[in-house]
Amino acid sequence: MSQMTDSQWPLWEVFTQPGGGRPHEHAGSVHAVDAEHALQNARDVYGRRGEAVNIWVVPSAAICASTPEDMGPFFDPGNEKAYRHPQFYKVPQGVRVF
Amino acid sequence: MTPPLSTADDATRQAEFEARIARGESIEPKDWMPEKYRRQLVRMMSQHAHSEIVGMLPEGNWITRAPSLRRKMSLLAKVQDEAGHGLYIYCGTETLGVDRQELVDQLLAGTAKYSSIFNYPTLTWADIGAIGWLVDGAAIVNQTMLAKASYGPYARAMVRICKEENFHKRQGYEIMVTLARGTPAQKAMAQDALDRWWWPSLMMFGPHDKDSPNSDELLKWGVKKKSNDELRQRFVNLTIAQAKAIDLTIPDPELRYDEASGNWIFGAIDWDEFWRVVKGDGPCNRERLAARRKAHADGEWVRAAATAYAAKRAARDAGAAA
């Protein structure tokens, strides 16, 4: 076997779901040869104390993310619509509970 | 030959960056950051990650000789945690555009720094108690502060680590308690371990503030929230009562309580020893590096097998699809 120049393998992002039906959350990353190996490594690194009931692994290169530079314009459509928030609407005094 | 140090654009971005730090915002991997900030983080985080990895060696030395199955299981789990901690922080460092391979190569080549404390030998079983109690105790003080660091991935790794370190400290202190309450020989062994690990533990916080070249920048950018001396004092204040509770003596004749400040004032630290060990002349520097290199070389066949297995499966899947 020839000497491997890179002993670290591709990078995978790890998302773990804690119990109680909560959504998956980014936990960190692992290096692994393939998806199955990445799942095993993710379990050993991010789930040693029952922190997860389910794990996703995704090749880091496959993740598309918004960039800090276009943060303003990219999120503008949402920020401009104050009427999406309940505080936008006035409730007559005396009405406490909906 | 030297490009202009800072264009107007850079100056604006730097001001914006510093305003974000001042507002206590978290800096994320893709955000603009000064090159010095990035370099300081890579330096600090990689040293931290290396320390976790090398930190497995002094304790691994005692796994086969732990005095009971309970102690052996705890120690195995603790050493596995340290490997995990190294991985969390390497993974955080990679978000700064560094490849883990580079960092591992630097460690194996002997050009990377790691915490000097791991260059001291573990001579008796009591040393495993002292490491958990003092070394992990000091690490908790440091890492609790770092959990609020301005760089998001570092802070998040620290939150995860802090949750686990408490187990480490408790298992170590329990070993010390058991020995301190045991036979006179066992108690003497515990005292001897405290005598040898006390001062190196205080050195873990790094040089005094006035002699620490990186501190100002790290504090300014919110990577650190407290100075080396502040953290060291906090550790001493926390630990004295724990030593007294098990009737062990801190090896410092000058130690005294200062009513006015509420601090335990300790004697002078031997900085010559500190620098000697940092520069490579500690009791175990060469041994640690040799052990790390051997472990890496011995693992070569595992890495080769995993790579070959993945290639075989990929080929089989491709064949099945065709």
| pLDDT at A97 > cutoff 80 | no
Q: Which domains does chain B have, with CATH numbers?
A: 10-283 (1.20.1260.10)
- The structure tokens 């500690």 sit at B282
The whole-angstrom separation of Cα B283 and Cα B259 is 38
- Residue A75: count of CB within 10 angstroms of its CB: 11
B94 chain-A contacts, CB cut-off 8 A: 11, 29
| pLDDT at A20 > cutoff 90 | no
Please tell me the predicted confidence (pLDDT) of residue B6.
55
Backbone angles phi, psi at B75, to 5 degrees: -65, -40
Write out pLDDT tens, residues B116-171.
999 999 999 999 999 999 999 999 999 999 999 999 999 999 999 998 988 999 99
Write out pLDDT tens, residues A49-79.
888 999 999 999 999 988 887 777 788 877 7
> Chain B closest CA to A78's CA: distance in Å?
22
Q: In terms of CA atoms, which chain A residue is nearest residue B154?
A: A28
Find which of A40, A45, A51, A63 to mutate to test the B interface (most B CBs within 10 Å of its CB): A45
- The structure tokens 């301190």 sit at B180
Residue A81 gets which letter from DSSP?
Answer: -
Q: In terms of CA atoms, which chain B residue is nearest residue A44?
A: B84
Please tell me the predicted confidence (pLDDT) of residue A4.
47
Please tell me the predicted confidence (pLDDT) of residue B289.
95
> Chain B closest CA to A79's CA: distance in Å?
20
Q: B69: phi > 0 → left, psi -120 to 50 → alpha, else beta; which?
A: alpha
CB–CB contact A45 B84 (8 Å): yes
CB–CB contact B99 A8 (8 Å): yes
For helices B285-298 and B35-54, the axis angle rounded to 10 degrees is: 90
Query: Which residue did the predictor score with more confidence, A81 or B271?
Result: B271
pLDDT (average), residues B294-311: 93
Q: What class does CATH assign to A6-88?
A: alpha beta
Residue A29 pairs in a beta bridge with A13
Q: In terms of CA atoms, which chain A residue is nearest residue B29?
A: A68
The whole-angstrom separation of Cα B129 and Cα B218 is 32
> Chain B closest CA to A28's CA: distance in Å?
7
CB–CB contact A8 B313 (8 Å): no
Query: Residue B299: which pLDDT band, with cuts at 50, 70 and 90?
Result: very high
| pLDDT at B109 > cutoff 50 | yes
CB–CB contact B30 A68 (8 Å): yes
Please tell me the predicted confidence (pLDDT) of residue A7.
62
Query: Residue A80: which pLDDT band, with cuts at 50, 70 and 90?
Result: confident
Please tell me the predicted confidence (pLDDT) of residue A1.
34
pTM of this prediction?
0.90
Write out pLDDT tens, residues B57-93.
999 989 999 999 999 999 999 999 999 999 999 999 9
Measuring CA to CA, how many Å separate B256 from each of B216, B227, B232, B247?
Answer: 29, 22, 15, 17
Give the residue extent of every domain in chain A.
6-88
To the nearest whole number, what is the mean pLDDT of chain B? Answer: 93
Angle B192-B196-B199 from CA coordinates, rounded to 5°: 135
Please tell me the predicted confidence (pLDDT) of residue A67.
82
Percent of chain B scoring above 70 in pLDDT: 97
Percent of chain A scoring above 70 in pLDDT: 92
Q: In terms of CA atoms, which chain A residue is nearest residue B303?
A: A7
Q: Quick check: A29 contacting B, CB < 8 Å?
A: yes
| Winning range, highest mean pLDDT, from A12-16, B217-221, B314-318 | A12-16
Please tell me the predicted confidence (pLDDT) of residue A5.
52
Are B53 and B287 spatial neighbours (Cβ–Cβ below 8 Å)?
Answer: no
Q: Quick check: A16 contacting B, CB < 8 Å?
A: no
| pLDDT at B283 > cutoff 70 | yes
Backbone angles phi, psi at B281, to 5 degrees: -110, 35
Please tell me the predicted confidence (pLDDT) of residue B78.
96
Please tell me the predicted confidence (pLDDT) of residue A2.
36
Measuring CA to CA, how many Å separate B306 from each of A31, A59, B313, B319?
Answer: 12, 17, 11, 20
The whole-angstrom separation of Cα B269 and Cα B200 is 9
Please tell me the predicted confidence (pLDDT) of residue A79.
75
pLDDT (average), residues B205-210: 93
| pLDDT at B195 > cutoff 80 | yes
Q: Quick check: A94 contacting B, CB < 8 Å?
A: no
Please tell me the predicted confidence (pLDDT) of residue B130.
98
Please tell me the predicted confidence (pLDDT) of residue A3.
42
Q: Which amino acid is at A30?
A: V
Q: Is the dihedral of CA B222, A12, B115, B56 positive or negative?
A: positive
Query: Residue B4: which pLDDT band, with cuts at 50, 70 and 90?
Result: low
Residue A68 gets which letter from DSSP?
Answer: G
Please tell me the predicted confidence (pLDDT) of residue A6.
61
The runs of H, that is alpha helices, within B55-68 are: 56-60
- List all residues 6 or more positions away from B128 whose beta carbon is below 8 Å from its beta carbon: B59, B62, B66, B75, B122, B172, B175
Tell me the two tokens of residue A78.
């949402």
To the nearest whole number, what is the mean pLDDT of chain A? Answer: 86
Percent of chain A scoring above 90 in pLDDT: 49
Please tell me the predicted confidence (pLDDT) of residue B5.
53
A28 chain-B contacts, CB cut-off 8 A: 87-88, 91-92, 156-157, 160
CB–CB contact B88 A34 (8 Å): no
